[in-house]
Amino acid sequence: MAYVKPEEIVENMLSAGAAKANLGIKDLLIRGALSGAFLGYATTLAITGITQTGLGIVGALIFPVGFVMIILLGLELATGNFALLPIAVKDGRTTAGRLAFNWTWVLVGNLLGSVLYALLYTAVVTKMGHIDPSNIVAVKKIIAIAEGKTLGYAKYGFDGTTSAFTSAILCNWMVTLGAVMAFTSTTTIGKIAAMWLPIMTFFALGYEHAIVNMFVIPAGIMLGANVTIADWWMYNEIPVLLGNIAGGMIFTGFALYFTAKKK
């Protein structure tokens, strides 16, 4: 698998963070939108697998296909960048301003791609609005997920928000680890195998990922979930984004940087 040592992995993380920080708006939007759409594909694939087999672990086993496409194509996923750019700033390879620029435009791109895929998916399952999709098992699952990720937290008030934030920390600890694990090998198959492990883990455990939620909650709303746009952002997207930032930056980015950076 052409294994790469931890010191070289951190150096590659720093180089990647600096390179991403120098990308322009056009590249960030296009690469971000593609990432959002690919995660939408992966989410609907996983939900289809779960509903066809009745086994949640099946969804976890196949969901990483979206992440693999994103990493191998060098696209932009905000949750991965939450680990790479802060350490590049700390190491003097870019600035806080460039970090904010990258995160902002990548998130916009991720949101556009996710919502676009949700619109296209809804158009397909409703036959352009001509049929009621509520009897489709996969659609029922998406609606239930959307309501669980918003109203399911709302009923617990501040404790619900804290739970969403904490779940997001645990999620992006694994997601950013997936991005970093791609640096552990110089072969394509080695990168895929390494990435698959933490991504499968976070999905199987049901933790909160901001970009996945940019697809599944809007899709649920379009398909009839009892959720408003305000519910989506107040009870899920904002606390989950903050948790994803904390998890990726602290537990993957800085943790590896401080222990494995070349002296």
Which tokens in the block code for residue 226? 């009892």
pLDDT (tens digit per residue) in 244-263 = 999 999 999 999 999 999 87
Structural domain spans, the chain? 6-260
CATH number of 6-260: 1.20.1080.10
Chain mean pLDDT for the chain:
97
According to DSSP, the residues that pair with 185 across neighbouring strands are 3
CA dihedral angle for residue 58, residue 60, residue 66, residue 69, rounded to 10 degrees: -90
- 158-178 tens-digit pLDDT: 999 999 999 999 999 999 999
Q: How far apart are CA 254 and CA 256, in angstroms?
A: 5
Residues 6+ apart with CB under 8 A from 193: 1, 185
d(CA 75, CA 92): 23
Helix (H, G, I), strand (E, B) or coil at 227: coil
pLDDT at 1: 55
Question: What's the whole-number mean pLDDT along residues 209-224?
Answer: 98
Check residue 263 and give its pLDDT: 76
The tokens describing 10, both together, are 């951190």
* Nearest one of 212, 217, 216 to 199, comparing CA atoms: 212
Q: pTM for this one?
A: 0.96
Q: What is the mean pLDDT of residues 201-226?
A: 98
24-73 pLDDT tens trace = 999 999 999 999 999 999 999 999 999 999 999 999 999 999 999 999 99
Go through 17-44 and write b for each residue having 16 or more CB atoms within 10 A of its CB, e for each that does not: bbebbebeeebbbebbbbbbbbbbebbb
